[in-house]
């Protein structure tokens, strides 16, 4: 087998996502044939080289697993939590392989979450996050005026965790349930932390509930707290979308039309 980048080998073995594998390498936690490796460009042959991560020997690639989970409110999208809150990993026990969430939903949000041990696909999807359409249904406190929704559709400036201001990309927004506290369907082609909440806060409205119902070709179709395996067709579509030059780049433009 030809030599491959270490982070790709580690991700394929199901030890960590590709991004996390890069952090493990630069932190000096990866050893190849007895030598600590810290350069991200380093390569190895998984069939002939002895590769250890935190002292544990890799045993080759695991069978790839792809899951669609309906995350309930009150779970964090991490492998573990220092505050000992329940994590999404508590909901996928018994899968037989260690999987990792692709992207995240915050503690108070719910809905569709993709998990996999395919570190290469996870890396490409997160790298291409601004091209993967994500659809949410959102309950808002108070009914925004139409001119405020126009601002959301066009993109507006919001704050970030780094205390900076960034402009959001165009979003598709439509009313799905009219009420004093209405529900909207919102489609984004980016995924900044707490983005929807911050968008509505910027126009003076609090978001009461958020549920993600679509992620690229995937649709939410399981009960809260439950998960299912992706179909071969869904996996193929996800891999296609993760490639450079994905057709979803065109959907980015269509959101503002």
User: Which residues are the active-site residues?
Assistant: 106
| Segment holding 123, helix H or strand E | helix 119-127
Please compute, for residue 217, the number of CA atoms within 13 A of its CA located in the half-sphere on the CB side.
Answer: 16
Q: Which residue has the tokens 């490796």?
A: 37
Q: What is the DSSP letter of 186?
A: E
Q: How far from 137 is each of 31, 191, 193, CA to CA, in Å? A: 46, 15, 17
> Is-contact 132 250, C-beta < 8 A?
no
> Is-contact 99 115, C-beta < 8 A?
yes
Give the distance, in angstroms, between the CA of residue 73 and the centroid of all CA atoms in the same chain.
Answer: 16
């Amino acid at each position: 087998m030809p030599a491959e980048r270490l982070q790709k080998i580690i991700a394929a073995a199901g030890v960590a996502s590709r991004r996390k594998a890069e952090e493990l390498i630069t932190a000096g936690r990866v050893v190849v044939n007895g030598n600590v490796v810290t350069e991200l460009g380093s390569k190895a042959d998984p069939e002939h080289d002895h590769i250890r991560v935190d002292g544990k020997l890799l045993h080759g690639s695991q069978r790839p697993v792809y899951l669609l989970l309906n995350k309930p409110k009150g779970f964090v999208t991490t492998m573990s939590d220092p505050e000992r809150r329940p994590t999404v990993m508590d909901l996928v026990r018994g899968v037989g392989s260690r999987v990792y969430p692709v992207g995240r939903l915050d503690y108070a949000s719910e809905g569709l979450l993709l998990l996999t041990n395919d570190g290469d696909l996870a890396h490409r999807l997160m790298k291409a996050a601004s091209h993967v359409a994500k659809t949410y249904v959102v309950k808002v406190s108070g009914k925004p005026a139409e001119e405020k929704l126009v601002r959301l559709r066009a993109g507006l400036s919001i704050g970030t965790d780094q205390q900076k201001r960034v402009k959001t990309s165009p979003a598709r927004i439509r009313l799905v349930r009219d009420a004093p506290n209405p529900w909207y369907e919102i489609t984004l082609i980016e995924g900044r932390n707490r983005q929807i909440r911050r968008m509505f806060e910027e126009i003076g409205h609090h978001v009461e509930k958020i549920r993600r119902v679509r992620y690229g070709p995937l649709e939410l179709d399981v009960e809260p707290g439950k998960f299912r395996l992706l179909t071969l067709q869904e996996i193929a579509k996800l891999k296609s979308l993760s490639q450079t030059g994905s057709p979803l780049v065109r959907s980015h433009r269509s959101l503002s039309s």
